[in-house]
Structure 1
């Protein structure tokens, strides 16, 4: 079901519907600060499998995890380098995804992560409102694999409507470029995917720390 959010009452109804759907193990779609996202409970193996199946993906392409606060990173990851924390402080909430070593105690299965987790805090009020109620969500772009990422609710509905319980319609997404993905699992940072934040912007933060990032995106 599609939920518009043209006023505060509609927004509350949409957020609550998405929250209930996630808790029931269903998939939801909502706008982020980049493109529309397809979301599932990160701690439900069945829900994550449904997300991957909906997109036509296998376990070799695990979804990143969205969070509502930067402090959640410490609950999901270990050995986060100081330079990565500096990037998080500067660019969260925003279009930066950080790949870190996963907290070994986590009871979830996002796919073939090789002991890592990709984490981002989006700069989008509705997405954050859902995340505050649900906790971390496995989220991928709302599209079928190989198709362009959905920039509005109608596009997401056309591709995924029969697979999701709730679509929050926030109009056209504010950003058309995906997040920049940075590998923070080693001493030297690497860009794994070029996105909304440039290499120069990243290194501008890191230069005073004596650190830098290379671009392998």
Structure 2
């Protein structure tokens, strides 16, 4: 595995060109995006795509998202695209929005998990954009972590999960958002959210007039349309518990647990943390900072061999809904 620190690399372009050539010849490259780090390969190289699944230990029926660097490439990858979808791409691309559409016939089934649909995204990150452009390929990429583990928001997270299974790691800024993209089904008359993210249902309703959430409903997930719908995701090694309620009552529950087990950690607001006796704490100032720190906190606590991670519940609004989607999966929906 070759590592490039693009924050200090004297020749940014040469590192990108090296990684782009690896993509061209069928290799696998970890690269930053504004959401989380991705693990990419040439969409049209089915053997390269299979390397992603092998490296991650990912199930073959879990589709990948195709990353592009030009909005107009949506027409090369998908067909029968509704007008309202183009309106969304005009507003939110580049950005944290992936759109499931009817795929063009040339897209390999390994990318789409055998489905007739494909998820497409245009990332808002200079490294991702340049890598796609310089490679001359559309890049299929899930998050750059072992399947089931917390997603990576730093290159160090990628390197903790992989050794020689991948070819290149491009280290740039930490992910600005810290959660995976919103995924919507774009094949109907309005957006249906399959996975929540930074583009919220409120934003979609404002743009399209109507939107629905389907990720928390009873769906046929034997053939998931989007990553994050079927398998265990986002889990650290430690047990995760969610705590909710009035601040003093939450603090009382946490302190009662701390009396029994000192090897616990807390991810919460400053307001709650100040009322507990827990020593290992990561706090946030607002909902966006919480999203940015969430996966990093889970991984940091794992490095410290914490047994139980307690996370304060978030309001189901704005990006809080996306955090709760990940948190409930990490905790197996277990509450303190």
| Range of TM-score over shorter length | over 0.9
Shift of 1:117: 0.6
Q: In structure 1, how many angstroms separate the alpha carbons of the residues matched to 2:119 and 2:17?
A: 26
Q: 1:107 to 1:88 in 2, by over 3 A?
A: closer
Q: Deviation per CA, 1:59-90, whole angstroms, max 9, x where unpaired?
A: 21021100001000000000111111111110
Of structures 1 and 2, the larger Rg is shown by 2
Q: In structure 2, how many angstroms separate the alpha carbons of the residues matched to 1:195 and 1:150?
A: 15
Q: Secondary structure at the match of 1:158?
A: helix
Within 5 Å, give how 1:51-200 maps onto structure 2. Answer: 51-104=52-105, 106-109=106-109, 110-134=111-135, 135-200=137-202
Q: What's 1:214 paired with? A: 212
Structure 1: 5+ residue stretches without partners: none
Q: In structure 1, how many angstroms separate the alpha carbons of the residues matched to 2:184 and 2:55?
A: 26
Shift of 1:188: 3.5
For the Cα contact (< 8 Å) 1:192–1:216, is it kept in 2?
yes
**Greater shift after overlay, 20-29 or 111-120?**
111-120
Structure 2: 5+ residue stretches without partners: 216-336
Moved over 4 A (4+): none
Q: What's 1:17 paired with? A: 18
Matched length: 212
For the Cα contact (< 8 Å) 2:26–2:48, is it kept in 1?
yes
For the Cα contact (< 8 Å) 1:4–1:11, is it kept in 2?
no
Q: In structure 1, how many angstroms separate the alpha carbons of the residues matched to 2:169 and 2:45?
A: 20
Q: What's 2:4 paired with? A: 3
Q: Deviation per CA, 1:178-207, whole angstroms, max 9, x where unpaired?
A: 110000122242100001111000111112
Q: Deviation per CA, 1:37-60, whole angstroms, max 9, x where unpaired?
A: 100111001011110111111221
Shift of 1:9: 3.8
Q: Secondary structure at the match of 1:145?
A: coil
Shift of 1:8: 7.0
Higher relative contact order (CA 8 A, sep 6+): 1
Q: 1:99 to 1:113 in 2, by over 3 A?
A: farther
Q: Does 1:27 align with 2:28?
A: yes
Q: In structure 2, how many angstroms separate the alpha carbons of the residues matched to 1:164 and 1:156?
A: 10
Tell me the TM-score normalized by structure 2: 0.61
